[in-house]
Structure formats: structure tokens, C-alpha cells
Amino acid sequence: MAAFCSSLLRPRWTRPLWCEWFRRNPRCIVWRGRSGFDSVGRLRRPNNGWRPLSASWIESPSKRLRDERTRGALPVNKWWLVLGLIWLLASVTGTAGADEPLTADDPPPSYRVEVIVFTQPPIQGAYQEAPRVDAVDRLARFAWPLRDPGDEGLGYQRLPGSELQLASAAQRLEMREGFRVHWHAAWEQPGRERELSQAVAVPANPDEVSPEGMIRVYLSRFLHAEIDLRMDPDDDTLERFDLVDDARDSARWMLRESRRMRSAETHYIDHPALGVIIRVEPVTPAP
């Protein structure tokens, strides 16, 4: 009798019919929430917005679990087990790596750097850039000049001329009309972060108009070269650009470049009046 009375209070649409309707209409959009109907047969509408609802949300959990096992998928509770195993493996790996930390005694990689700094005439008929008018700030960054072989002191040691690999390129530049090589040097240095890498000073020649500045090679995630050069233009250049008297004292050519380098490749950095050829390659440690 109780079962008969409870059957009279059920909604008109029973659960099996509702599931069958969603199997035939899988793309129907309805409110996704907890149980589908209230005591008088009206659809409950939770305040979580419209969402697509498939028949698997209405089927019993046991049937969904059987379907997942049939398809070879892991149940939801087993995903937590997999994530726990991954976290445990990562913890063990991190602990093993912490047993042998890197120390300050581990030497950084060494690199061989070779640089050519030269001047070039403007290309006839092409774009010509006027010198920049900036405040006089000779070397904004601190840099050390290279040391001659055998000298003691700060700064990197200059490699002898017999070890220059770009000597033929420097000779070809000198043979071209209007080109002039002002600085050609090579040195070895450790690959460190930018804040720890020592910049190399490019000195100016007091007997002629020549560029001066600094070159810094550092190793972050990749190799980088930072170049900051400047050169006061000669009188012919000042006359050609017709600068006023107040601008003549502060006009200068500026070459500021920060470039990612590829190891063992020669890079050319262009400028209307200046030019830089730089090559960085790793140094193989002696056995």
C-alpha cells in the first residue's frame, strides 16, 4: 500500500524516460544541478548558469564507472592516486638533487671573444643619419681595458695577435676605401650573468677621431653581447649636416646594441658611421 501511494506522488516524467530523452537529444542545453525535479514535478534550476548537459550526468554513478572501465578510462578517484604518485616522485627527485648542490667552486664555462671596431663612409645615395645631440656622458658604465700578455692587474688578458681568427676580415676592411679599423682584440672570459660579467673598455685614440665605449659579453639563458660605442664626428661631418654652434659640442655618433649571440658564429652590427664584427665561441677545457 505504501509503495502504491508513493508511486502516485511521483512526477509524470519518470527517471528512465528522462534519461532516454537525453540519449536522443544529447546537445540539449538545460540547467545542470543536483536532482532534476521537485516534489510537484517542476525542474529545479540552480544558480550556476546554463551549461551543456549530457545523459551521463543523469545516469547512475555505477553505470558511469562501468562505462569508464569499458573505455579504458581511469575513474576520478584514481586520478588522485596518479597525481599523488607524480608528486611523490618529484619530491624524491628534488631531495636527491639537493644532496649534491652546485657550489661556488664549480667553474663557469669559458668563452673566447674577438671584436673588430671600425668606421665606414656613408653609402652614396642612401639614407644618411645625422649625429645625435646628447649630453656629454663619456662612459656611463664601468669597464676595464684589456691587459697585455704577461701583465698583472684587473681586466681580461688580451690574446696575442697570432691567435686572431678575424685577421683576414680586418685586412679586407683596411683595403676598402673609406673604411678604417680602429680596434681589433680577442680575449677569454667566463660566462656569467650580466651583473657579474666584466665589461671591456674600447679606448679612444687621442691622435685621431675614433670610437670609444665598452663591450660586455654575458651568459643568461643564452649568450648576449652588449655594445655601447660613441664617436665625435669630424669637422667635415659637422659641416655637411650644418649643425649650429651649440649642437656641435655635444653631437656624436652613437651605437648601442644588445644582441643575442649564437656560439661559434660571426655577427656583424651595422651603423651609418660605425661597424662591429664580433665572434664568441666556447673554450674547450684542457684535459
Sequence-ordered list of residues with C-beta below 8 angstroms from that of 44, at least 6 positions apart, any chain: 31, 33, 34, 35, 36, 37, 38
Task: Give bridge partners of residue 230 from the DSSP assignment.
Answer: 212, 254
Environment class of 63 (CB within 10 Å of its CB; exposed 0-12, middle 13-18, buried 19+)? exposed
Contacts of 37 (CB under 8 A, 6+ apart): 11, 13, 43, 44
Whole domain around residue 27: which residue ranges? 2-78
255 within a domain of the structure (yes/no):
yes
Q: What pLDDT, on a 0 to 100 scale, did the predictor assign at position 106?
A: 74
Does 9 have pLDDT greater than 90?
Answer: no
CA separation (Å) from 160 to 148, 171, 286?
Answer: 8, 17, 19
Q: Lowest-pLDDT range, 174-178, 198-202, 230-234, 241-245? A: 241-245
Confidence of residue 149 (pLDDT cuts 50, 70, 90): confident
Helix (H) or strand (E) holding 186: strand 180-190
Instruction: Indicate whether 40 belongs to any domain.
Output: yes
Which residue among 78, 99, 134 closes a domain?
A: 78
Q: What pLDDT score was predicted for residue 241?
A: 59
Residue 88 forms part of a structural domain: no
Do 13 and 115 lie in one domain? The reply is no
277 inside domain: yes
Least confident range from 93-102, 111-120, 235-244: namely 93-102
Same domain, 67 and 148: no
Neighbouring C-alpha atoms within 13 Å toward the C-beta of 113: 26
Both 182 and 57 in a single domain? no
* pLDDT at residue number 273: 86
Nearest to residue 280, comparing CAs of 193, 200, 155, 188? Answer: 188
pLDDT tens digit string along 62-79?
555 555 555 555 555 556
Is the domain of 140 the same as that of 274? yes
Class of residue 147 by CB neighbours under 10 A (exposed 0-12, middle 13-18, buried 19+): middle
Question: Does the pLDDT of residue 265 top 70, yes or no?
Answer: yes
Res. 85 pLDDT band, cuts 50 70 90: confident
pLDDT single digits (tens) 268-287: 998 888 999 999 999 987 66
| 253 and 199 inside one domain | yes
pTM listed for this prediction: 0.59
Work out the percent of the chain whose per-residue pLDDT is above 70: 53
Greater confidence (155 vs 43) lies with 155
Q: Are residues 142 and 264 in the same domain?
A: yes
- Flag the least confident range among 125-129, 130-134, 194-198: 125-129
> Based on the structure, what is the number of domains in the chain?
2
Using DSSP's 3-state secondary structure scheme, residue 167 falls into helix
C-beta of residue 183 within 8 angstroms of C-beta of residue 117:
yes
| Per-residue model confidence as pLDDT tens digits over 87-107 | 777 765 544 433 344 455 678
Looking at residue 227, what is its pLDDT?
95
pLDDT at 109: 93
Residue 83 domain flag: no
Q: Is it the case that residue 13 has pLDDT exceeding 50?
A: no
Q: pLDDT value at position 66?
A: 56
